[in-house]
Amino acid sequence: MQFFDDSLLPENQQPLVIQVAPYGPQWDASDSDDIAVSMDAQVQKAVDCWNAGATVLHVHVREEDGKGSKRLSKFNEMLAR
């Protein structure tokens, strides 16, 4: 592989995709004070990831008790927001 003087310029690089899953269900709310539990907090966390440069959001949602949810209505609510 060769690198030229201008190879690291953004216009000469391949597109970059950053995927995030900021509130995966394997973590409990007690594991960190940065785990989003409420729907408002989950939406804000997604916006924060976007603002930090993420281009793909891997969605997990939580119930009000902090456990991972499998209810389609919760996913629909998240995506609607």
Tokens linked to 34:
């940065």
Report the b/e string of 21-42 with b at 16+ CB within 10 A.
Answer: ebbeeebeeeeeeebbbeeeeb
Enumerate residues 6+ apart whose C-beta is below 8 A from 79: 59
Q: Which residue type does 73 have? A: S
pLDDT tens string 25-76: 777 777 877 888 888 988 999 999 999 999 999 988 888 888 888 899 999 9
pLDDT at 77 over 70: yes
Outline where the chain has alpha helix (H).
39-51, 72-80
Enumerate residues 6+ apart whose C-beta is below 8 A from 12: 6
pTM of the model: 0.71
